[in-house]
Amino acid sequence: EPEVTQTPSHQVTQMGQEVILRCVPISNHLYFYWYRQILGQKVEFLVSFYNNEISEKSEIFDDQFSVERPDGSNFTLKIRSTKLEDSAMYFCASSEDRGPYEQYFGPGTRLTVT
């Protein structure tokens, strides 16, 4: 069964450093998303992406964040200068169609900023 994969599973970084979280969506999916979940809290939408463009972003997704699809398979989330409050689980998701369709989530990357 096809699945979304994410690497690394856990990333530890120092405050102010740049991090790139990587995702490989399901191969025939065209719509991609990033969400984050601060420990013990709800899952929060960050950004949706289609056709090499951001479709929608939340207020959390400020200038420190960027997304890219550098090739035909990877989808990345970059945080330019990490802050302590960026510590969270980051989930990538993909769906085969635009809109309110089933999103398949990856296992997440736990980001710890020290």
Partner 1 sequence: AQKVTQAQTEISVVEKEDVTLDCVYETRDTTYYLFWYKQPPSGELVFLIRRNSFDEQNEISGRYSWNFQKSTSSFNFTITASQVVDSAVYFCALSEGDSSNTGKLIFGQGTTLQVKP
Instruction: Give the Cα separation of 95 and 2 in Å (integer).
Output: 12
Q: What are phi and psi of 105, to 5 degrees?
A: -100, 145
* Smallest distance from partner 1 to CB 69, Å: 16
Q: Residue 85, SS3?
A: helix
Chain length of the chain: 114
Under rule CB under 8 A, residue 43 binds partner 1: yes
Stretch that binds partner 1, among 16-24, 59-67, 72-80, 89-97 (CB under 8 A): 89-97
Question: How far is Cα 32 from Cα 81, in angstroms, rounded to an integer?
Answer: 23
Upstream peptide bond of 100 is cis (omega within 30 degrees of 0)? no
Q: Does 98 bind partner 1 (CB under 8 A)?
A: yes
Binder to partner 1 among 41, 73, 81, 114 (CB under 8 A)? Answer: 41
Q: Does 107 bind partner 1 (CB under 8 A)?
A: yes
Q: Which residues contribute to the site for partner 1 (CB under 8 A)? A: 31, 33, 35, 41-45, 48, 50, 55-56, 58, 89, 91, 93, 95, 98-108
